[in-house]
Chain A
Amino acid sequence: MSGHVVPVKTYLGIFVALLVLTALTTGVAFVDFGDIHTGIRLIEVIPLNTVVALAIAVVKMLLVILFFMHVKYSSSLTKIVVMTGFLFLAILVSFTLADELTRGWTPEAGGWNTALPTILPLLRSLF
């Protein structure tokens, strides 16, 4: 970040790109891309709409970090610090998924999602 001057043109370009991507996010929300059925036990269904929305969001985030936050022009130390943030986000997501995706494996307990349709009518019948 040490005194690097970014031309106004670049800022404007990024700003327009962000606006376009926002419009794109809104637009694709009206299109049903359907699901991918993987056949893998851990992740059986991937909703494509979520994947597309997240992909656009990631591009927007990268534009902000690299240009508006000047990380593209910063020292290696700053880049490492930024990447550490992502590493810890990855830890949060992956360990949470380690729970969410394997909850249904234990037949007795049942995952929350599998148990809910059974439990809710039972509870309703009680009251």
Chain B
Amino acid sequence: MSTTVIPELPGQEIPAESRVNYLNASYGVKSWLLTTDHKRIALLYLGSITLMFFVGGFFAVLMRLHLIEPQGALVAPETYNKLFTMHGVIMVFFFLVPSIPATLGNFLVPMMIGARDLAFPRLNLLSWYIYIIGAAFTLYAVISGGVDTGWTFYTPYSSTFSHTSVIPTALGVFITGFSSILTGLNFVVTIHKMRAPGLTWFRLPLFIWAMYATSIIFILGTPVIAITLFLLGLERLLHIGIFDPAIGGDPILFQHMFWFYSHPAVYIMILPGMGVMSELITCFSRKRIFGYTFVAFSSLAIAIISFLVWGHHMFVTGQSIYAGLIFSVLSFLVAIPSAVKVFNWTATLYKGSISYDAPMLYALGFIGLFTMGGLTGLFLASLATDVHLNGTYFIVAHFHYIMVGGAVMAYLGGIHFWWPKITGRMYPDGWARFAALVIFVGFNLTFFPQFVLGYLGMPRRYAVYPTEFQVLNVMSSAGASILGIGYLIPLIYLLWSIRYGPIAGPNPWGAKGLEWETPSPPPTENFEEIPVVTADAYDYANVGGSRV
């Protein structure tokens, strides 16, 4: 995307430290906690969700250690129930949902569209505080004894039969939902109203389209989970019959309402990752995206169809088989726009000038792992095979291929890609490539055996298992430890690079896009002058796009 303004970048020759940027514009705790700068808020989110990621990851490590032995090596079955619940709650609601939108989205949406900030900067800061309050409630629940319902809070586990901290956990999720709604609202208004002159809808980077689609789900879906958890609280506290059949409720109604949000939420987690992918693939193959409009509209198609498929979580839970038929067909439909994206990224690679920098390694990993996660989803969308596979480790493997193999890979790829922009520093490239490789190997070793385990019939959420499943479980646990180390390596070298990394320069990748046409780290106001856009996105064919 070329522009007519800022021909000479003011920060190109000057070291980042000697220039005023958003990081050194003001100092002190107050300047961070009361900031309305979208870039600083992105960093506040980055710190918070990284903390939650490692808390959630810690629970996963304990689970995998426990499952080394068939009778369980580490904890009592009740504790195991709490471990997988807290792992799920924290990873889904406090890491995956806000991961890319709240960090990279907050940082990049205004920069990519040539704006100085989001439309509602104070609302943006409020959303972070709401997130923190929600996280505090949930962490309190962890400390006060944990919760054992599974991350889905299914009734009657969460209503009649639960004696754990369901209310504080649900309250934490309820509160955090509002932070998502505010972020979504902010993005929609910003993208509609604050695009730079000349930046028409079809010149927008595909990351923006993905964030727009995600925001729609945030706004339309999140209120429903809030209402559902509110009703759950009402039933527990006031004994109003909503989900408990003993007092006139219907437990499957809970599942309907829960999955009406939580299935689209899967796409909240993966759509931003897909947006990151389009940026990475084009930059590191030095090509325009193949079929821009198809990729753009497939994001919107995914956002809309994702609201029509929730019943596929309930094929075997007592839902009417007639409703099941409809949900099955619709679930197959959502595979189409997802496949459009995968094919278009692959077609973009064709005859591209590909380089294998660390972000690209994550991107290539994403294509393979997401495809496996997506295709195994079709097994689960089929009514007959779902009867066998539902509630087994096949499901666990399937959604981890999407959530970890897809969303987390894209998140890490994005963090590596824009890290020089965010901090003004480069990280050690060799270590970064090594970490990407370790994560890819560790991930597959962890989750591929789980496909086999599930196919063989090992149920999920069990603290013990028959001895014939031990080899595959040990493989999975070994993979988890490799994966854990893989995640620690970037934490170390990225922190190291903030102080000791080489100065990055405004555009170390030779990438296209408005965010690369401003110094790194950017000034508080992002652009000295609002740029004027005169070309399409990913214009790599013109002016070479050589690397600095």
Contact = CB atoms under 8 A, between A and B. Distances in A.
A53 B77 CA distance: 47
Contact of A100 (B250, B307, B321): B250
Contact of B311 (A88, A99, A105, A106): A99
A112 B245 contact: yes
A51 interface: no
A16 to B, nearest CB: 28
B308 A91 contact: yes
Interface stretch (B252-260, B379-387, B485-493): B252-260
B320 interface: yes
Given A98-B322, A100-B250, A105-B322, A116 B245 contact: yes
B154 to A, nearest CB: 15
A96 B308 contact: no
Contacts of B314: 99
Contacts of A109: 318, 321
A95 interface: yes
Contacts of A85: 220
A99 B307 contact: no
A102 interface: yes
A60 interface: no
Contacts of A101: 320
Nearest to A115: B318
A92 B260 contact: yes
Interface residues of A, number: 19
B322 A92 contact: no
A112 B252 contact: yes
Nearest to A96: B256
A99 B224 contact: no
Contacts of B253: 96, 100
Contacts of B326: 95, 98
Interface size class of B (residues with CB under 8 A): 20 to 34
Given A85-B220, A88-B220, A95 B323 contact: yes
Nearest to B188: A81
A99 B256 contact: yes
A98 B323 contact: yes
A23 B310 CA distance: 38
A111 to B, nearest CB: 8
Interface string B253-280: 1001100100000000000000000000
A58 B257 CA distance: 21
Interface in A102-125: 102-103, 105-106, 109, 111-112, 116
Contact of A103 (B220, B307, B320): B320
A96 B257 CA distance: 8
A105 B252 CA distance: 17
Contacts of A96: 253, 256-257, 260
Contact of A91 (B252, B307, B322, B323): B307
A103 B257 CA distance: 17
B322 A102 contact: yes
B185 to A, nearest CB: 11
Contacts of A100: 250, 253, 320
Nearest to B220: A88
Contacts of A50: none
Contact of A98 (B224, B250, B320): B320
Interface in B316-344: 318-323, 326-327
A36 B252 CA distance: 26
Contact of B252 (A92, A99, A106): A99
Contacts of A22: none
B220 A102 contact: no
Interface of A: 84-85, 88, 91-92, 95-96, 98-103, 105-106, 109, 111-112, 116
Interface of B: 220, 224, 245, 250, 252-253, 256-257, 260, 307-308, 310-311, 314, 318-323, 326-327
